[in-house]
Structures are given as C-alpha cells and as structure tokens.
Amino acid sequence: MRDRLSVVVSAYNEENNILPLHRRLKAAIAGLPLASVEYLFVDDGSADGTLERCRQAQRDDPDVKIVHLLRNFGHEAAMTAGMEYASGDGVVFMDADLQHPPELLGEMVKRWREGNDIVLTRRTANADASPLYRFSARLFHRIMRLLSDTDLPADTPDFRLLDRKYVELLKQFNERDSLFRGLLAWGVDMDRLPVIEFAAPGRRAGESKYSFLKSLKLGIDSIIQFSVKPLFLSLILAGLTALFAAGLGVNVVVERYVLENPTPGYATIVMTVLIMGSINLVVLAIIGAYVAKIHMETKKRPIYLADFITAGAGPADMPGPPGEREGPPCPG
C-alpha cells in the first residue's frame, strides 16, 4: 500500500521555523489521498527553543512525533534517526528552514503512488547560495567525479521521497559519516529516477548551519567514504617521486664523475629534502584519513542517542528505534 506517509524533518536551532513549517506541511498534505501522515521532527540537539516548538506542534496535532537527539550529532545522523523511527509506507526527507517547499509534496506523493519507489528533487536555483558557495559546490563536484566511483548528482538535495522498500535497504548500511544521499547514489542509477525541479527560496529564519569549513569536511568525508582512489593517487605520487629521485641521482653522478664538474649542491639538497618531505606528508595524510575512518567505524558506536516522544507519551515510555540497529540508541 502507498497511503501512509512519514515526513522526516531534521532541525538544528530552527525555533522560528518549526511552527510555520508544520502549518505549511499540513496545508500541503490536506486533500492528498493518504490514510495517515506522521510528521517526524528530529531535533538534532538544538540549543534554542526548537524542542519546545516541536512539543507545541505536537500538543495541537497528535500526528507530530519527535525524535530528540541528546546532543548535536549532525545533519546526516539526524536524517538517519528520522528514517529509523519513520513507520510510513513512504518517507519524505526535508530541511526545517523552508528551503524545501512543502507544496511539492503533492507532486511527490502523486509520482510515488504512480509506482515510483524514489522521487528526487533538483534545485534549479538557491536564493541563499553566494557566488563563492556556487563556485565551491561546482569545484567539489568536479573533484568528486574525478576521485570517486559513486557519481553524486549535482543540485540534488536531501529533499526526496523514498518508498519503504528503499528505506529498509538504506537501514542496512549502518555506516557513520555516510553521506546520506551518497548511499542512494551508490545503490541505484540516479539518472533514471523521476525528478521534480524547484527553485529554493532563502531560509525563512536563522542562519545556515553549514560554514565553509563544515562543507569542506563533508566534501572530504564523502570522497573518503565512497572511494579509495586517493590511496592509488598517493601511490602514483610516490612513483613519480622515486623517478625524480633516480633522475637526480644520475645527474649528480654524471656531474661529479663524468663531467668532473661538481655543483655546490646546496640548492639541490634543500629542494630535494623539501620535495621529498612534503610528498611524504601528503601520502601519510591520505593514509591517515582512511585510518581515522577505520578507527571510527570499528568502535561500532551508535550513530546517535535519542528519545522518541509521541503525543501523550513521555520519552521514557519508548524503547530504541524499531529498526535492526545493534546497540541501544535510547539510554532511557
């Protein structure tokens, strides 16, 4: 059946956006041919009044459920949490800042009910994107395309609808730091999926949570997460350095013994030490980045810790998520 919908909203310090978003979602969903809807607000350890606003929405509307992460675990973890607690036949993922217009849900649900298991969206414009942001995003995609085996489609945000079938598939991954949308791109041919285009307005209130450095970290993480090509690149780099060193060695021998013209050598030594040293460090850093990922993965810690709050029930009444994840995400 395709008539029970979950809407997962990840929110970090979005106190002024929760209630307007909830209102617009309800308006957009009223009249759709659905048997039930649940709004899953994932409060990603907000420091402002986000949780209280979610509770306020829940008091007026028992369809609101809250996944309260005990600290800020990050956008990816928040969406994973929402996905694990969602119980609908189809799950929509969206941001809390109204950059993902709720009015598109009608079209998304229509395509889903027509038989599409995944409905994507594509941003044709983003009112909040500065020229520097657009440039870095394009650069990142170029680098990603070169370095990764998984082709992440550009301008395809997390705003999408997944049928239960794919939700269950994604739940099997259980990776930390996994780029949520990358996992889907890894598993299916994204080019063949239905896409709804939209122009993203500016965020309604508050500030973007993605600083330049945070976006850069996400970019590097996603390259490491989806590819081992950088390790092969470091191998090539090491090979080139060895060739350079061999050439320099021959040059020194020829100068000294054949041409009997020993160079003073100072500049050569300094250059060689610097070049060898920095290439060594680059290769070590690349290996280190992978070792760090292995280190984090082997701990097998839960991706998040959460309370699940439904209307009329306190967080302590609820066990961990209904999924198959090992370990107890809910300490209560």
Residues that bind ligand UDP (CB under 6 A): 10-12, 14, 44, 72, 74-75, 78, 95-97, 99, 128, 203, 208-210
User: Please, what is the minimum distance in Å from the beta carbon of residue 306 to Mg ion?
Assistant: 22
Contact between residue 13 and residue 50 where contact means Cβ atoms under 8 Å apart = yes
Given the complex with ligand UDP, which of 43 and 89 has the nearer CB atom? 43
Site residues (vs Mg ion, CB under 5 A):
97, 99, 203
Given the complex with ligand UDP, which of 79 and 161 has the nearer CB atom? 79
Residue 87 interacts with which of ligand UDP, Mg ion, none, CB < 5 to 8 Å by class: none
User: Please, what is the minimum distance in Å from the beta carbon of residue 158 to ligand UDP?
Assistant: 8
| Cα–Cα distance list, 224 to 140, 221, 281, 287 (Å) | 13, 5, 18, 10
User: Please, what is the minimum distance in Å from the beta carbon of residue 15 to ligand UDP?
Assistant: 10
Given the complex with Mg ion, which of 211 and 263 has the nearer CB atom? 211
Q: How many CA atoms lie within 13 A of 253 on its CB side?
A: 6
Helix axes 180-187, 75-85, angle to 10 degrees: 70
User: Please, what is the minimum distance in Å from the beta carbon of residue 24 to ligand UDP?
Assistant: 14
User: Please, what is the minimum distance in Å from the beta carbon of residue 296 to ligand UDP?
Assistant: 17
The closest residue (CB) to ligand UDP is 208
295, two tokens: 């280190």
Q: What is the largest CA-CA distance in the chain?
A: 92
Contact between residue 319 and residue 306 where contact means Cβ atoms under 8 Å apart = no
Given the complex with Mg ion, which of 58 and 99 has the nearer CB atom? 99
User: Please, what is the minimum distance in Å from the beta carbon of residue 229 to Mg ion?
Assistant: 30
Residue 111 interacts with which of Mg ion, ligand UDP, none, CB < 5 to 8 Å by class: none
Given the complex with Mg ion, which of 55 and 203 has the nearer CB atom? 203
Residues linked to residue 92 through DSSP beta bridges, in sequence order? 7, 161
Residues linked to residue 198 through DSSP beta bridges, in sequence order? 123
Query: In angstroms, rounded to a whole number, what is the distance separating the alpha carbons of residues 286 and 288?
Result: 5
Given the complex with Mg ion, which of 50 and 99 has the nearer CB atom? 99
CB neighbours of residue 104 within 10 Å:
19
Put the strands of the sheet holding 195-200 in their side by side order.
195-200, 118-126, 160-163, 90-95, 4-11, 36-43, 64-69, 306-309
Contact between residue 18 and residue 57 where contact means Cβ atoms under 8 Å apart = yes
Query: In angstroms, rounded to a whole number, what is the distance separating the alpha carbons of residues 225 and 148?
Result: 9
Given the complex with Mg ion, which of 48 and 255 has the nearer CB atom? 48
Does an H or E element contain 271, and which?
helix 266-299
Given the complex with ligand UDP, which of 164 and 203 has the nearer CB atom? 203
Residue 15 interacts with which of ligand UDP, Mg ion, none, CB < 5 to 8 Å by class: none
User: Please, what is the minimum distance in Å from the beta carbon of residue 160 to ligand UDP?
Assistant: 14
Query: In angstroms, rounded to a whole number, what is the distance separating the alpha carbons of residues 322 and 168?
Result: 11
| Residue 2: alpha-carbon gap to chain centroid | 27
User: Please, what is the minimum distance in Å from the beta carbon of residue 115 to ligand UDP?
Assistant: 29
